[in-house]
């Protein structure tokens, strides 16, 4: 029997406002809280873990990300931080010239944001042709909702002037023609990306190890794969069966593309096998607010012809997805950014479920959900998982796209708290890094890059913000009895921070550092 007593620093239980002086962990489970003197006297043979003034608290739980997509980015050209199209072209050309690919092989990049480019537009096929004339090129926007390809990639994808726009997506066209210009949006981008061949299994395993390292560095012990298709499922299952999953990973299956995957793998639903389980289904109802594809009830600022974005499905199609989840009694995660998409989801659950059935459906992102909609969500037991770091990364863009009145209400966490809606906070990794402490800073401060406090009335206390990535996130996963707080009987999933987040100035929260990540009593990460 392995016993460890933690003492010598602040221990935040997140059970009420509680703190503890010392903590006993026994075989990976929290057994007792008490004084240092009492625990060391009662368990003299226990290992002693002196915190040396640092802070111990529950480890972080990721309520929405795409860990397999994060893994994939380790094999892509990084386009993060590009400030003009020429820089995008140079990074791709440099990658090609270093001999990392042969002529005819795909080059893929990730992380550019047209809002950050000098030209304020997406790179086109001609620019990408210059970067790699002999290779198909695909680059993904930071949001993952859109991207651009070159001429060779268009040929590989079979996209021509005669190719129609798919439902819920758009193919960019050269002015005054039907000729594709290389820009692909929403379903036009996501579905056609399947043309890119997968790396070897060995390489994918290596990339998953790197992704797990990244999550652990940020104090995360439970992660999500938020849109799992057959290839991703085989990767996760292979990692699990090989004993290579160190994190707990909860998989949400692409309900549109593979509605039968859950029926084919019933033994993986609801309980972990080798640190992996299926949590339910995932679907999309709209796009990205910073990409102006989120479905709104009122037009975007400065939009021609009253443009409001667009839906992914009709009401009838959505109701069929919801009915499947309700009939199977499976949790459903639903991507909704614009308030029209939020309303469509609420309406579908009101019609199909008729109330709170205990399934805890999750509105993913909920960027522009309205206060009246939050009240209806509470009646349905629907959880709001906010991408609250939008306030920093795209808050200034939202002011331009939506005007102050709407932009100030993005990720309305304080309103959710008032309305009795359980909320969580996520990073949608690989859209941004899985930095939970930065997300907590965003929820508490709501500051944009330009220094604007975006919706000060929606700021949360530090404790309430921490609950969004610990206790509430455990509830979202139906794991509140074993994770999310420090309490006797729960699993010892813990994180050591350099300082106490409850005692530092609010502006300092983003500068806190994870020193150790502990899962079931075992340290999986230590900062060197």
Q: Would you say how long the chain is, in residues?
A: 528
Q: Which residues of 48-72 are buried (b: 16+ CB within 10 A; e: fewer)?
A: ebebeebbbbbbbbbbbbbbbbbbb
3-state secondary structure 375-431: HHHHHHCCEEEECCCHHHHCHHHHHHHHHHHHHCCCCCHHHHHHHCCCEEECCCCCC
pLDDT at 410 over 90: yes
Question: Order of strands across the sheet with 248-254?
Answer: 60-61, 220-228, 248-254, 276-284, 331-336, 362-365, 383-386, 423-425
Give Cα separations from 451 to 126, 397, 402, 433, 454 (angstroms). Answer: 36, 13, 18, 21, 9
Residue 129: the pLDDT is 93
Q: What is residue 177's predicted lDDT score, i.e. its pLDDT? A: 86
Give the mean model confidence (pLDDT) for residues 228-245. Answer: 97
Element (H, E) at 220: strand 220-228
Q: What is the mean pLDDT of residues 394-414?
A: 97
Q: Is the pLDDT of residue 102 over 90?
A: no
CA gyration radius, the chain: 23
Q: Is 377 within 8 Å of 421 (Cβ atoms)?
A: yes
Q: Report the pLDDT value the prediction gives residue 176, as an integer from 0 to 100.
A: 79
Supply the pLDDT for residue 192. Answer: 85
CA atoms within 13 A on the CB side of 466: 22
Work out the average pLDDT over 444-464: 98
Phi-psi map region of 14: left, alpha, beta (phi>0 left; psi -120 to 50 alpha): left
Contact present, 497 and 432 (Cβ < 8 Å): no
Section 90-115 average pLDDT: 90
pLDDT digits 0-9 by tens, 457-501: 999 999 999 999 999 999 999 999 999 999 999 999 999 999 999
Average pLDDT rounded to a whole number, residues 250-279: 96
State the Cα–Cα distance between residues 65 and 224, nearest whole angstrom. Answer: 5
The four Cα atoms 184, 190, 192, 193 give a dihedral, to 10 degrees, of 100
Residue 7 structure tokens:
């003492």
The residue extents of the domains of the chain are 76-195, 285-460
Q: What is the pLDDT of residues 317-352, one digit of tens each?
A: 999 999 999 999 999 999 999 999 999 999 999 999
Q: According to the model, what pLDDT value does residue 100 have?
A: 76
Query: How large is the average pLDDT for residues 387-392?
Result: 98
pLDDT at res. 190: 84
Q: Give yes or no for a contact between 80 and 430, defined as CB atoms under 8 angstroms apart.
A: no
Is the fold of 76-195 the same as that of 285-460?
A: no
pLDDT-above-90 percentage for the chain: 92
Superfamily of domain 285-460: Metal-dependent hydrolases (3.20.20.140)
Predicted confidence band of residue 143 (pLDDT cuts 50, 70, 90): confident
Q: Locate 485 and state its tokens.
A: 């707080």
> For the segment 358-377, what is each residue's pLDDT rounded down to a tens digit?
999 999 999 999 999 999 99
Question: What mean pLDDT do residues 392-406 have?
Answer: 97
How far is CA 275 from each of CA 10, 214, 270, 322, 472, rounded to the nearest angstrom?
30, 17, 12, 28, 20
| CATH topology (fold) of 76-195 | Diaminopimelate Epimerase; Chain A, domain 1 (3.10.310)
Per the listing, tokens 């990540």 go with: 517
Q: How many CA atoms lie within 13 A of 257 on its CB side?
A: 17
Provide the 3-class DSSP secondary structure of residue 509.
Answer: helix
Q: What is the pLDDT of residue 17?
A: 66
Please state, in angstroms and as integers, the Cα–Cα distance from residue 174 to each residue in 125, 127, 154, 161, 183, following that order. 10, 14, 14, 10, 10
Average pLDDT, the chain: 96
- pTM (two decimals): 0.94
Residue 76 has pLDDT above 80, yes or no: yes
pLDDT band at 194 (very low <50, low <70, confident <90, very high): confident
8 Å CB contact between 508 and 247: no
The answer to whether residue 219 scores a pLDDT higher than 70 is yes
Q: d(Cα 262, Cα 210) in Å, to the nearest integer?
A: 27
The conformation of residue 486, written as its DSSP 8-state character, comes to -
| Mean predicted confidence (pLDDT) in 159-170 | 91
Query: Given this model, what pLDDT does residue 420 score?
Result: 98
């Amino acid at each position: 029997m392995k016993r460890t007593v933690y003492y010598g620093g602040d221990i935040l239980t997140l059970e009420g406002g509680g703190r503890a002086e010392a903590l006993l962990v026994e075989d990976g489970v929290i057994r007792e809280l008490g004084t240092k003197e009492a625990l060391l006297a009662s368990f003299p043979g226990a290992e002693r873990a002196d915190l040396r003034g640092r802070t111990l608290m529950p480890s972080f739980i990721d309520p929405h990300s795409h860990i397999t997509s994060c893994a994939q980015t380790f094999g892509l050209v990084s386009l993060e931080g590009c400030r003009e199209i020429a820089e995008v072209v140079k990074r791709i050309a440099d990658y090609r010239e270093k001999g990392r690919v042969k002529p005819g092989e795909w080059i893929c990049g990730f992380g550019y944001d047209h809002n950050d480019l000098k030209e304020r537009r997406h790179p086109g096929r001609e620019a990408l042709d210059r970067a790699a004339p002999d290779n198909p090129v695909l680059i993904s926007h930071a949001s993952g909702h859109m991207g651009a390809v070159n001429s060779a990639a268009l040929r590989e994808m079979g996209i021509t002037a005669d190719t129609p726009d798919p439902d819920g997506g758009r193919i960019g066209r050269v002015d005054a023609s039907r000729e594709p210009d290389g820009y692909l949006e929403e379903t036009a981008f996501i579905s056609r990306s399947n043309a890119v061949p997968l790396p070897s299994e060995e390489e994918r395993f290596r990339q998953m190890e790197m992704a797990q390292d990244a999550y652990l560095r940020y104090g995360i012990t439970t992660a999500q794969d938020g849109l799992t298709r057959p290839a991703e499922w085989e990767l996760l299952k292979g990692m699990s069966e090989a004993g290579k999953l160190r994190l707990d990973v909860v998989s949400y299956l692409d309900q549109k593309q593979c509605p039968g995957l859950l029926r084919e793998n019933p033994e993986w639903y609801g309980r972990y096998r080798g640190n992996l389980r299926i949590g339910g289904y995932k679907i999309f109802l709209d796009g990205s607010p910073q990409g102006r594809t989120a479905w709104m009830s009122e037009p975007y600022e400065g939009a021609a012809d009253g443009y409001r974005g667009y839906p992914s499905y009709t009401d009838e199609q959505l109701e069929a997805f919801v009915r499947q989840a309700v009939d199977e009694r499976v949790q459903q995660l639903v991507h909704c950014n614009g308030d029209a998409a939020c309303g469509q989801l609420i309406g579908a659950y009101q019609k199909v479920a008729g109330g709170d059935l205990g399934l805890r459906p999750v509105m993913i992102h909920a960027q522009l959900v309205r206060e009246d909609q939050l009240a209806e969500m509470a009646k349905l037991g629907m959880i709001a998982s906010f991408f609250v770091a939008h306030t920093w990364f795209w808050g200034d863009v939202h002011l331009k796209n939506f005007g102050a009145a709407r932009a100030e209400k993005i990720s309305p966490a304080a309103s959710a708290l008032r309305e009795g809606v359980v909320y969580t906070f996520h990073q949608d990794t690989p859209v941004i890094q899985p930095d939970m402490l930065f997300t907590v800073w965003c929820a508490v401060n709501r500051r944009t890059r330009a220094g604007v406090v975006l919706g000060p009335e929606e700021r949360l206390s530090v404790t309430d913000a921490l609950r969004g990535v610990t206790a509430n996130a455990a509830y979202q996963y139906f794991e509140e009895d074993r994770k999310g707080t420090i309490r006797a009987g729960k699993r010892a999933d813990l994180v050591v921070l350099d300082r106490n987040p409850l005692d530092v100035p609010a502006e300092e929260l983003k500068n806190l550092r994870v020193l150790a990540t502990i899962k079931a009593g075992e340290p999986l990460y230590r900062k060197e």
